[in-house]
Amino acid sequence: MALEITYAEVRFKNGSNSSGTNSESPAEKVWSCCPKNWKSFSSKCYFIATDSKSWNESEKNCSRMEAHLLVINTKDEQDFINRNLDKQSAYFVGLSDPEGQGRWQWVDQTPYNKSTTFWLPGEPSNPNERCVVLQTRSSSWGWNDVPCVESQRSVCEMMNIYL
């Protein structure tokens, strides 16, 4: 699949993102970008799907774009994503419990860290609900376990493309 790039960012080795005159040579610049219609945050690109699919179909859709369902590593990342979502919808993320035993795992094999979770109060609540969505409850975003066969929107993630 050919991806059209519409966002580019220049980072200098000294960490500056500023534009204008810089004493460093062009070889010192690092260019990163995201495909068209993706959003950039930190070193990652995010695609927010507007169609609804099951968790498995959502992950396949992300894979077709050379990405995977969203893996949330920090509160800043979760907050960035939340600011870009429709509060009337729920979005699959790449966290699941395939056996229904409370052994949550991320699609990219990132270790599940109980100290960096954003479950809504009372969640996870049902061993038959083995997939996770981001959704609002009482105007707060958080994680909720849901059946994997439900149709929900989703968020895909990939690393920035470096040129």
- 115 or 57, which is more confident? 57
pLDDT digits (tens, 9 = 90+) for 68-112: 999 999 999 999 999 999 999 999 999 999 999 999 999 999 999
Give the pTM: 0.82
Contact present, 157 and 69 (Cβ < 8 Å): yes
CA–CA distance, 49 with 41 (Å, rounded to integer): 17
CB-neighbour burial class of residue 75 (10 A; exposed 0-12, middle 13-18, buried 19+): exposed
* The CATH number of domain 43-162, selected from 3.50.50.60, 2.40.128.50, 3.40.50.2030, 3.10.100.10: 3.10.100.10
Whether the pLDDT of residue 42 is over 50: the answer is yes
Q: Tell me if the bond preceding 121 is cis, omega within 30° of 0.
A: no
d(CA 138, CA 123): 14
Q: Taking the domains of the chain in order of start, what are their residue ranges?
A: 43-162
Q: What's the DSSP call for residue 162?
A: E
* pLDDT at res. 22: 39
Amino acid letter, residue 29: K
pLDDT, mean of residues 4-8? 49
Rounded alpha-carbon distances, angstroms, from residue 10 to 14, 29, 48: 12, 6, 24
pLDDT at residue 15 above 60?
no
pLDDT of residue 66 exceeding 50, the answer is yes
Can you read off the two tokens belonging to residue 70?
């969203």
Q: Coil, strand or helix: which one is 120? A: coil
- pLDDT (0 to 100) of residue 24: 42
Per-residue pLDDT at 13? 47
Indicate the helix (H) or strand (E) that contains 96: strand 91-96
Per-residue pLDDT of 110-143, as tens digits, reads: 999 988 899 999 999 999 999 999 999 988 999 9
